Structure 1
């Protein structure tokens, strides 16, 4: 699954423009709205989805999927990202991961949106065979129910910690850690299966964790960890306020 044939996109786009399949002024108006929406960010179950760094995704969608350009592709794409019926973690033939959002789980030709690193990749209506293959060969994230609860640190039982269970992988022991700079007083322990997939994490000092900009973009399993910790802190704000512990940060 390759999305980055930019030269091919440009050639196709120019051919469509030259033979009158694309109205240039209409294209520029739609492109402007598309880029404005994703520059601002579009909400999704895995976090805010932003524009590609090159801002070339609307041209890709137009060149590869002209029928979608002729429809209201921006609103449809936003709607699917906001409220997909299914979500899959996918890999292309080179092992590069993306997230696939499915509009209608019962439609064999359901419209899909692909995202990588929280940036829009493409949006189109695939063939039935393609969608069936993508669903069969990749990991569904649809029924994942992230659970968050207040507990104590794995290493220091006097310290509060949030346990975040992603509901994605078999449980194991807390065997790993997320690496942070030595001068950053943050600790996250990871619970992993035999393949290194993270099922749970423990976040020490969760209320203090939110202070640090260094964790703004930290993601595990497609989820922004700071956003999940913020939900947990909001839920247990009274308990954390009453917890008697020393903070070295």
Structure 2
């Protein structure tokens, strides 16, 4: 339970589904990641390659996705049918691309995060996420959910930048940047470790912090003197049960005044 809310837990995959296998790659391992995509395409499966699209740099990111699609279409994946999908396209254009992808006419779809929800293509078995360190855990988990929607084994390939820098190089960065890269590495490792949305949510809480309960900040550690929401979860649950028991025996809290 979370606070005053009771939750129902669905902790099993639909019958016949296999857990998505998730791998983390550095830039130097790009060829290996591409080979996994090629192997799936040759096996008559389909694939996504996703580029980040961050509001603060939307034009730059969109251009990267468009250029990436052209380079892959004319280079690494020139022997496959490649399509492009992004949020700036007209609705009729997006619908046409998705129709072709679902029909198998497009084998490899280069996209921004517009595919994060509402896309169900069972024949798609691999998703490669570029600059995975720029995504939050929840968004990465959502994107991973675009594959593994059939009985076939599926793969999520996280392509990350700069996470393998030497310690001497890390010291040259500012403290804030160093902390950011450390948190990004933790997020990606958490996704590799687990397919369980509840485990990932708790990892996200531990890494980012819950933010302010009575303010505007949605991340960061609250200013508790002693308590830690992740570490003290069992104690919080016990306190919740005690509170319910107290209200059942003394609804008006008259005896406890």
Q: With structure 1 as the length reference, what TM-score do the two structures score?
A: 0.27
Which protein is richer in helix relative to its size?
A: 2
Which protein is richer in strand relative to its size?
A: 1
Q: With structure 2 as the length reference, what TM-score do the two structures score?
A: 0.27
